[in-house]
Structure 1
Amino acid sequence: MGKEELSKFIKALEVKGLLKFNVEEFDVRFKIQKYVLLAKALGIDLGYTYNLYIRGPYSTGLTDDYYSLDEEYSNADPTEYLPKIEKLYNLVNNKDVEWLELAGTLFSLYNTYNEEGLAKGNKEAIINHAISIKSWASFDYAKNVFNELEKYEFIS
């Protein structure tokens, strides 16, 4: 989709109060990574591919693009994305980066299991897989995050 669409999406996140765009701040870059990933569940696919890394799903293409935003961002009109990200806002508002890291990991694993036809009925396996990767997360905490992803229909 390109940097123009990414600019509009980030501007919409800013309007909703989910971040203040500053590419120099790690937490902002981290949130952009996770928000763009989770937005796929809302039908907002900005065209980035992800791989699992230390801090959860990560897209090198997305990193390249947000580091090079300049004129596209200053001229971006977020109007089309504002209604589309309402569910994202409800899910992630006031969540810390650890929650986002685990949510992104669970979302990514769920989609991988789903592509292989294994997601249905394997909630516990997905959670156990996530906590094997994120050893700092307890089963109960991961289950709560998974349940929130289900509640807001990011996974079904």
Structure 2
Amino acid sequence: MSKDIKKLIAYFNYLGIKFNINSFEERFQIQKIAFILKTMGMELNYNFHLWKHRPYSSSLAKDYYDINNDNHNFNNSGYIIPEREKIILDKFINIFDTNIIQMESASTIMLLNLTYEDVELVEKKMKEIKPHLSDMDIINGQNKAKELLFKDEFLTDELKSEMMEWDNID
């Protein structure tokens, strides 16, 4: 079993999400979450590309099919999650709360490098490849992508002060 799949199994257990590949939807969820976590800074050696309008890694698919064939116990991979990675996982939990549509929208926006693009452009491009998503799903996905990629070190005292002023406007 690869080190990366051990990490993912540990991450899923930490997140409280069942690591299961019995259906397309479950495999799709594994691909989305792995892509998002990698983009957030987790050290995973999977390469992702756009496949059928979503992030996909063939090496990740190979890994989870291989361990499934070995009847592996998905409750414990033996990987101990370092504190730095727990911070990323906690951020993921706080932002998504396992909302599948938001994950779908955010992961595709991140893969297409549209996170910081104009909303109208993002909506147009996303509607071309994901017509089932509403405008609000796309806007929420873009906002979630921004939250996921925002690093606390970017939050200067000046920016904190400005944000507090905006929060206090009635």
* Bucket of the pairwise TM-score, normalised by the shorter protein: 0.7 to 0.9
What runs of 5+ residues in structure 1 fail to find an aligned partner?
A: 114-118
Structure 1 counterpart of 2:111 = 108
CA deviation digits over 1:55-102, x for unaligned, max 9? 511111110011112569654224224333111222222302x33222
For normalisation by structure 2, the TM-score amounts to 0.71
Q: Once the 2 structures are TM-superposed, how far is the Cα of residue 20 of structure 1 from its aligned partner?
A: 1.2
SS of alignment partner, residue 79 of structure 1? coil
Structure (1 or 2) with the greater helix fraction: 2
Structure 2 counterpart of 1:138 = 134
Structure index of larger Rg: 2
Q: Give the alignment partner of residue 65 of structure 1, picking from 63, 66, 75.
A: 63
Q: Does the 8 A contact of 1:41 with 1:154 survive in 2?
A: no
Q: Once the 2 structures are TM-superposed, how far is the Cα of residue 22 of structure 1 from its aligned partner?
A: 2.2
Q: Give the alignment partner of residue 93 of structure 2, picking from 89, 96, 101.
A: 89
Distance 2:77 2:148 in 1: 31
CA RMSD, aligned part only? Answer: 2.8
Q: Does the 8 A contact of 2:54 with 2:108 survive in 1?
A: yes
Q: Give the alignment partner of residue 27 of structure 1, picking from 16, 25, 35.
A: 25
2:89 partner letter: I
Q: Give the alignment partner of residue 123 of structure 2, picking from 123, 127, 137.
A: 127
Q: Once the 2 structures are TM-superposed, how far is the Cα of residue 135 of structure 1 from its aligned partner?
A: 0.7
Q: Does the 8 A contact of 1:34 with 1:104 survive in 2?
A: yes
Structure 2 counterpart of 1:116 = none
Q: Does the 8 A contact of 1:103 with 1:149 survive in 2?
A: yes
Q: Does the 8 A contact of 1:42 with 1:85 survive in 2?
A: no
Q: Give the alignment partner of residue 36 of structure 2, picking from 35, 38, 43.
A: 38
Structure 2 counterpart of 1:3 = 2
1:131 partner letter: K
Compared CA separation, residues 141 and 23, structure 1 to 2 (3 A): closer
Q: Does the 8 A contact of 2:116 with 2:146 survive in 1?
A: no
Compared CA separation, residues 109 and 55, structure 1 to 2 (3 A): closer
Identity between Structure 1 and Structure 2 (%): 26
What runs of 5+ residues in structure 2 fail to find an aligned partner?
A: 155-170
